[in-house]
Amino acid sequence: MSADVSSATRRRFLRLALGATVAAPLATSAGCSVLNGSSSNDSSSQGSSNGLEKSKITVGILTSQGSAGAKLAEKFGYFKQQGLDVTIKPITAGPQAIPALINGELDFTVINYVSFYQAIGAKTLDAKVVVDGDTANENSQMVVAKPDSGISSPKDLAGKKIGIQASKSAAELLVRAQLKDNDVDPNSVTYLPITFPNIPAAIASGQLDAGVEVEPYLTTAEQKQGLQPVMKIITGSTANMPNTGYIAMSKFINANPKTVAAFQRAMIPAQTDAADRSKISQVLPELSGVDQATAALLNLDTFPTSNNATQLQRVITLLQNYGGMTAQLNASDYLVPTPKV
């Protein structure tokens, strides 16, 4: 194991030894009550006394840190301050929200950027990024394996079976990029689509040699299965890689510019709060399904307060280099500028 990963591992296990408790069952169901947000009446109601084109909106969120801003905006009243009556609707995976976004069931939704630009490149979605949700941290997304796996460096992954959430997912592309950066043939690995919650058990049973994990599953995999990080995937060429964002259909954005701006203004203080451990800890248990003690151990991502086309272009480049994307996309064409507050 490399020195930096080994050091990081020792620090993580020290934290776990000091504060770990057995995690509560993780929320993986779209209908899980822990994610239910505030209710509203007819979310399609148009017009309001506050000048917004549409004051009642529905926002799709994931069980991930990228959705923390929406939960904080709900909890601390930032949506209401902007005249928005928001219904938060849980979804199991970003791509599954696309049909609901297209047919108007959702007005905004959180989606991982790889899936978003894949859909844009395939011309199956006409949407734009409204709010940048989160940027991955080098310790919040890692390849993990059993301590006795014999895997301690990228070269040890050659010939191994790695769990990557889904084919051509961000997890797979990031692993490919890191293997390439470390002079390992990305095609020397077998990539198996197994979802994050199921990867630890698949490693423990021998179905996988290793797997990509993200929080909160990264921490709970250490607690429950004793897995340990063996390779960072958010480092070097992939350092500070944009992870998820809130998107809306272009048609909705054009028809409701004041509503979109109000949503963005509500999210700015919420994103600021997400960087505050004392505040984000108030929504992480409800959001991720882990208990308060485990939530305190999670490695936090970075939560941007403005949209950055240059940063998002890196996701497109990642797709072009490792995801087979041939479309030439300009991130600024699929981005709504952040309003001044």
Q: What is the CATH number of the domain that holds 288?
A: 3.40.190.10
Which of 116, 113, 114, 86 lies closest to 101 in space, CA to CA?
A: 116
Domain shared by 111 and 246, yes or no: yes
In a domain, 7, yes or no: yes
Q: Are residues 272 and 304 in the same domain?
A: yes
pLDDT of residue 144: 97
- Please tell me the distance from the alpha carbon of residue 233 to that of residue 200, in angstroms, as a whole number: 17
Q: Tell whether 26 is covered by a domain.
A: no
Euclidean distance between the first and final Cα of the chain, in Å? 47
Reported residue count of the chain is: 341
pLDDT in tens, 166-196: 999 999 999 999 999 999 999 999 999 999 9
Distance of CA 24 to the CA centre of its chain: 20
124 shares its domain with 251: yes
Give the pLDDT mean for 53-62: 96
Same domain, 164 and 305: no
Cα 240–Cα 245–Cα 251 angle in degrees, nearest 5: 145
Please give the order of strands across the beta sheet that includes 190-192: 190-192, 161-163, 210-214, 141-145, 228-232
Is the CB of residue 226 less than 8 Å from the CB of residue 118? no
pLDDT band at 95 (very low <50, low <70, confident <90, very high): confident
Domain boundary among 238, 257, 290: 238
Q: What is the pLDDT of residues 190-224, one digit of tens each?
A: 999 999 999 999 999 999 999 999 999 999 999 99
The pLDDT value given to residue 20:
36
Looking at the domain assignment, is residue 289 inside a domain?
yes
pLDDT score of 50 = 74
CB atoms within 10 A of CB 29: 13
Q: Are residues 100 and 171 in the same domain?
A: no
Q: What SS3 class is residue 30?
A: coil
Q: Which of 127, 144, 146 is nearest to 253 (CA)?
A: 127
Domain boundary pick from 176, 207, 238: 238
267/289 Cα distance (integer angstroms): 23
Q: Using the predicted structure, report yes or no on whether residue 4 has a pLDDT greater than 80.
A: no
At residue 228, the pLDDT reads 96
Is there a cis peptide before residue 339, judged by omega within 30 degrees of 0? no
pLDDT of residue 17 exceeding 50: no
Helices 113-121 and 309-322 pack at an angle, to 10 degrees, of 70
CA–CA separation, 272 and 290 (whole Å)? 23
Percent of the chain with pLDDT over 90: 79
| 213 and 173, same domain (yes or no) | yes
Domain that residue 233 falls in: 3-21+138-238
Would you state the pLDDT for residue 289? 86
Q: CA neighbours within 13 Å on the CB side: how many for 225?
A: 26
Does residue 232 share a domain with residue 143? yes
Q: 88 in a domain, yes or no?
A: yes
pLDDT at residue 340, as a whole number: 84
Domain contains 341: no
Q: Quick one: pLDDT at residue 118?
A: 96
Say whether both 193 and 162 belong to one domain.
Answer: yes
Task: Assess if residue 42 is contained within a domain.
Answer: yes
Q: Is the pLDDT of residue 139 over 60?
A: yes
Same domain assignment for residues 222 and 249? no
Q: What is the residue-averaged pLDDT of the chain?
A: 87
Mean pLDDT calculated for residue range 274-283:
94
Strands 228-232 and 210-214: unpaired
Round to whole Å and give the CA distance between 64 and 134. 10
Residue 339 domain flag: no
Query: Same structural domain for residues 252 and 200?
Result: no
Quote the longest CA-to-CA distance of the chain.
64
CA distances from 147 to 1, 103, 188 (A): 10, 47, 22
| pLDDT score, position 22 | 32
Does residue 245 contact residue 113 with C-beta atoms inside 8 Å? yes
SS3 of residue 302 by DSSP: strand
Q: Quick one: average pLDDT of 230-258?
A: 97
Residue 69: Cβ-neighbour burial (10 angstroms; 0-12, 13-18, 19+): buried
pLDDT higher for 138 or 38?
138
Token pair of 11 as six digits: 């620090």
Domain assignment present for residue 198? The answer is yes
Q: Rounded to two decimals, what is the model's pTM?
A: 0.84
Beta strand 210-214 with 141-145: parallel, antiparallel or unpaired? antiparallel
What pLDDT, on a 0 to 100 scale, did the predictor assign at position 79?
98
Per-residue model confidence (pLDDT) at position 93: 76
Count the domains in the chain: 2
Distance CA 117, CA 317 (A): 10
Name the domain boundary from 238, 253, 272.
238
DSSP helix/strand/coil, 264: helix
Residues 9 and 147 in one domain: yes
pLDDT at 44 over 50: no
- Average pLDDT, integer, range 213-238: 94
User: Over 90: is that where the pLDDT of 27 sits?
Assistant: no
- What pLDDT score does 290 carry? 86
105 and 189 inside one domain:
no
